[in-house]
């Protein structure tokens, strides 16, 4: 974007558009600094936060099922009013972005001064939230082998957003940034040192979610905490004084506990066995570990936790094994992190499963009473919070804009 265009955009409402890309979905949020923006008819869009110094949500939504016949597009105002909900087949994220630009104009919102992208993995050289320059884009392209499932679609979205919103600065916010504080004993893997020097280390993920939880808790965050972000992708993080000291995911988002379609941690000998007996190459192993394993593997096709809990109630043994394996893995990590931290003052559940599945929370905490962790504890050592990844990205973008002005 040219300096002239930036100056023109900066003179109007300072809106920031956040894009959170998935494999077949695109979540988005439009934020303004503190006070809600007024639309073309003079009406104020109500923010969903009482903190006048924080990012105010003006518009949010998602395009689900991109490229599928069951696609759906939903847009809501900052106060939760549904502005648009339609069964709409969007063929690509490019088309979804074009539709989003139309929606912003229809509702009288100013074009964004910045677009913030959630980037899952930036490789060893991109660990700070930053503006996307040609050099940064090249570094992302060079890091594709660290996250071949995540970085290519992120790059495609960045390129398209740069065209659709050509008068806005583009920023990358990395899920790995929060875990830069990992000590060597957590970050370095038990491999020859030359691999660590080449970037083969524990990076950790869901960092933007964890950052938002730290901010929400503020002064209420105790010295020893464990956060469990449980959703289609799930991880846990051990925090001392609000700083990440260990996390369950490793080099990639495939590690840790079993997830909807991802295996989580495996004996590496399993992979060697499959390579030798079934002739699986890297691409086939990647498909197996990321798309056919975890809860989906236990049940031969069902990875949705809500559906699995219903099947458990109906006596489905495969569903029971899947849910039990998931909850047991989470509980094991909580116990391990209690040993690492010397106790736990607070356990926080977040993410789609963590926030909405009381059954999973109950199963995780069953057996953790010796740590003082009970789901019905009035003392509040177990809490459930709504993660705010999009707002956290907007905060970073706002800070980066201000520091560069």
Least Cα distance to 51 among 403, 394, 397 occurs for: 394
Pairing status of strand 235-240 against strand 130-131: unpaired
Least Cα distance to 56 among 16, 25, 28 occurs for: 16
The beta strand positions in 139-290, using DSSP E, are 169-174, 224-229, 235-240, 243-247
- CA dist., res. 120 & res. 141, Å (int): 13
Catalytic residues: 175
Environment class of residue 164 by beta-carbon count within 10 Å: exposed (0-12), middle (13-18) or buried (19+)?
A: middle
**Helix (H) or strand (E) segment spanning residue 101:** helix 93-106
Place of tokens 């996307």: 132
CA triple 74-75-76, angle to 5 deg: 125
Environment class of residue 316 by beta-carbon count within 10 Å: exposed (0-12), middle (13-18) or buried (19+)?
A: middle
Place of tokens 């953790």: 368
HSE (side-chain half, CA atoms, 13 Å) at 69 = 0
Q: Determine the length of the chain.
A: 405
Place of tokens 């996250």: 147
With a CB cutoff of 8 Å and minimum separation 6, the contacts of 353 are 230, 231, 234, 305, 360
DSSP codes of every residue in 49-91: -S-TTSEEEEEEEEEESTTSTT-EEEEEETTS-EEEEE-----
CA dihedral 97, 103, 104, 109 (to 10 degrees): 180
């Amino acid at each position: 974007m040219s300096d002239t265009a930036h100056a023109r955009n900066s003179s109007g409402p300072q809106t920031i558009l956040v894009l959170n890309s998935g494999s077949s979905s695109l979540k988005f949020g439009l934020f303004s600094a503190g006070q809600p923006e007024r639309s073309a008819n003079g009406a104020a869009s109500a923010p969903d936060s009482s903190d006048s110094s924080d990012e105010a949500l003006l518009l949010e939504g998602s395009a689900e099922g991109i490229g599928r016949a069951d696609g759906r597009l939903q847009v809501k105002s900052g106060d939760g009013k549904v502005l648009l909900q339609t069964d709409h087949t969007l063929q690509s994220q490019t088309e979804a972005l074009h539709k989003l630009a139309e929606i912003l104009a229809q509702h009288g919102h100013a074009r964004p001064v910045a677009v913030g992208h959630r980037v899952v993995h930036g490789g060893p050289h991109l660990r700070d939230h930053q503006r996307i320059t040609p050099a940064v884009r090249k570094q992302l392209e060079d890091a594709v082998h660290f996250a071949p499932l995540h970085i290519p679609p992120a790059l495609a979205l960045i390129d398209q957003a740069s065209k659709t919103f050509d008068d806005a600065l583009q920023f990358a916010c990395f899920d790995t940034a929060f875990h830069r504080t990992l000590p060597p004993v957590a970050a370095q893997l038990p491999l020859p040192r030359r691999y660590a020097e080449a970037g083969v280390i524990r990076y950790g993920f869901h960092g933007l979610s964890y950052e938002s939880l730290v901010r929400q808790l503020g002064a209420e965050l105790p010295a020893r905490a464990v956060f469990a972000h449980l959703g289609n992708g799930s991880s846990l993080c051990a925090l001392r004084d609000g700083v990440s000291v260990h996390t369950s995911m490793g080099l990639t988002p495939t590690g840790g506990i079993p997830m909807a379609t991802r295996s989580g941690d495996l004996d590496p000998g399993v992979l060697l066995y499959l390579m030798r007996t079934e002739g699986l190459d890297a691409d086939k192993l990647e498909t197996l570990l990321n798309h056919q394993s975890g809860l989906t593997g236990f049940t031969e096709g069902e990875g949705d936790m809500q559906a699995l809990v219903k099947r458990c109630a109906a006596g489905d043994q495969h569903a029971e094994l899947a849910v039990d394996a998931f909850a047991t893995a989470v509980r094991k990590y909580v116990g391990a992190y209690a040993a690492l931290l010397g106790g736990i003052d607070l356990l926080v559940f977040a993410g789609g499963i963590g926030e909405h599945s009381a059954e999973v929370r109950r199963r995780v905490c069953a057996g953790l009473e010796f740590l003082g962790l009970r789901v019905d504890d009035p003392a509040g050592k177990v809490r459930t919070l709504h993660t705010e990844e999009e707002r956290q990205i907007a905060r970073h973008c706002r800070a980066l804009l201000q520091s560069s002005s």
